[in-house]
Amino acid sequence: MNECLAFYQGDFVKENNVNISVRSKAFNYGLACFEGIRAYWHEDSNQLYAFKLKEHYTRFLQSCKVLNIKLPYSVEELCDITIELLKKNNFKSTTYIRPIAFKGSEHIGPTLKDNDDRIVIYCQPLGSYTGKDRLRVAVTSWTRLNDNMLPPRVKATASYLNSALASLEVTSRGYDEAIFLTATGHVCEGPGENIFMVRKGKLITPPPSDNILEGITRELVMQIAREDLGIEVVERSISRTELYAADELFFSGTAMEVTPIIEADDRIVGNGEPGEICKRIKEAFSNLTVGKIEKYKDSCTSVY
Ligand SMILES: Cc1ncc(COP(=O)(O)O)c(C=O)c1O
């Protein structure tokens, strides 16, 4: 894997040769933000499609702005660099791309003022994130961060300690993934994915004001449901016990894609099988990510 090429500070270099100081503020204080992007390999057309690149880099630069990280690249330039990187690596399978912007400064002290701002982009083949096609989840005792602490709208590396603690707790107890509640007790999201619930034929998901990351896959799931499947979508707060009353639950995310939840806090969801609405959305998602649906072709950038 480390034989892969990465992009670091303006050059394409062997990932092994990326040399980041142990003194960097990114390492010492987590002063960094990142993105997770997928490029989908389509065997039939012998093509790799970078998915929703523009949306990911728009969110990346928004995260940089909040962290006072100034990169010398526009969204378009970052998209071009990423396509070039994928090409140079000659990937012929579905790939995960991880751009990280960080404070490289080596001075002691957790300040975002220093100007030594850096970027690295690395990538690797990635199939299924969990290796499972259905998940058993549990609500974690760790509360989700809120906008006045460590803003969930920003993909700050430091926020993922909150995610990692939740994951450790529930996976140690034998569950596949955690669900966070907000400080007010509402259902929020998973450690690295948004959550959807189906009740009485409606698709319901927590609003950004419930401290979720504004997921790119979440937005797409809502679009598919509304425009292609004619399903009513509601963004509203969800109470914990609604998870137990739900007809369907599923996660959405770049790494997680669209994955059904069949059990929450030891309660069977629906009939214990992946739900019909989830299955239809998942199918549409897997077709459109490889450029098979005309309407969504704009979201797929051909690498080769
Ligand atoms: C905390 C969190 N929520 C939700 C998501 C899903 O966002 P997206 O669909 O943009 O990948 C992610 C992944 O980036 C995440 O880390």
Tell me the pLDDT of the chain (304 aa) as tens digits: 568 999 999 999 999 999 999 999 999 999 999 999 999 999 999 999 999 999 999 999 999 999 999 999 999 999 999 999 999 999 999 999 999 999 999 999 999 998 899 999 999 999 999 999 999 999 999 999 999 999 999 999 999 999 999 999 999 999 999 999 999 999 999 999 999 999 999 999 999 999 999 999 999 999 999 999 999 999 999 999 999 999 999 999 999 999 999 999 999 999 999 999 999 999 999 999 999 999 999 999 999 9
Q: Let me know if 87 is a catalytic residue.
A: no
Domains in the chain: boundaries: 5-125, 135-288
The neighbouring-strand residues paired with 187 are 181
pLDDT of residue 2: 61
Ligand 1: distance of its center to the CA of 217 in Å? 8
Query: Best of 195, 213, 252, 281 to mutate for ligand 1, by most ligand atoms within 8 A of CB?
Result: 213
Backbone angles phi, psi at 25, to 5 degrees: -65, -25
* Catalytic annotation, pick one of 155, 200, 279, 282: 155
296's CB contacts (< 8 A; 6+ apart) are 288
Q: Which protein residue has the closest C-alpha to ligand 1 atom 1?
A: 192
Ligand 1: distance of its center to the CA of 190 in Å? 9
**Residue 201 Rama label (left phi>0; alpha psi -120 to 50; beta):** left
Residues with CB under 6 A from ligand 1: 36, 189, 192-194, 213, 215-218, 252-254
Q: Are 5-125 and 135-288 in the same CATH fold?
A: no
234's CB contacts (< 8 A; 6+ apart) are 202, 203, 204, 205
Query: Best of 162, 217, 258 to mutate for ligand 1, by most ligand atoms within 8 A of CB?
Result: 217
101's CB contacts (< 8 A; 6+ apart) are 32, 33, 34, 60, 63, 64, 67, 69, 71, 117, 118, 119
Distance spanning both ends of the chain, measured CA to CA: 21
Q: Point out the ligand 1 atom lying closest to the alpha carbon of residue 163.
A: 1
Ligand 1: distance of its center to the CA of 145 in Å? 14
Ligand 1: distance of its center to the CA of 170 in Å? 19
pLDDT of residue 3: 84
Options 3.40.190.80, 3.30.110.40, 3.30.470.10, 3.40.630.10; CATH for 5-125 is 3.30.470.10
Q: Point out the ligand 1 atom lying closest to the alpha carbon of residue 255.
A: 11
What CATH topology corresponds to 135-288? D-amino Acid Aminotransferase; Chain A, domain 2 (3.20.10)
Does this model's pTM top 0.95? My answer is yes
Please tell me the distance from the alpha carbon of residue 296 to that of residue 293, in angstroms, as a whole number: 6
Query: Best of 59, 189, 194, 210 to mutate for ligand 1, by most ligand atoms within 8 A of CB?
Result: 194
Ligand 1: distance of its center to the CA of 218 in Å? 8
User: What is the separation of C-alpha 102 from the centre of its chain, rounded to a whole number of angstroms?
Assistant: 18
Both tokens assigned to 205? 């998901």
Q: Point out the ligand 1 atom lying closest to the alpha carbon of residue 194.
A: 4
Please tell me the distance from the alpha carbon of residue 282 to that of residue 275, in angstroms, as a whole number: 10
Q: Is 214 helix (H, G, I), strand (E, B) or coil?
A: coil
If one counts every other C-beta atom within 10 angstroms of the C-beta of residue 15, the result is 18
Q: Which protein residue has the closest C-alpha to ligand 1 atom 4?
A: 193
Q: Which protein residue has the closest C-alpha to ligand 1 atom 2?
A: 192
Which letter, b or e, does each residue of 126-160 get, where b requires 16 or more Cβ atoms within 10 Å of its Cβ? Answer: beebeeeebbbbbbbebbbbeeeebbbebbbbbbb
**Torsion of Cα atoms, 282 then 46 then 59 then 107, to 10°:** 130
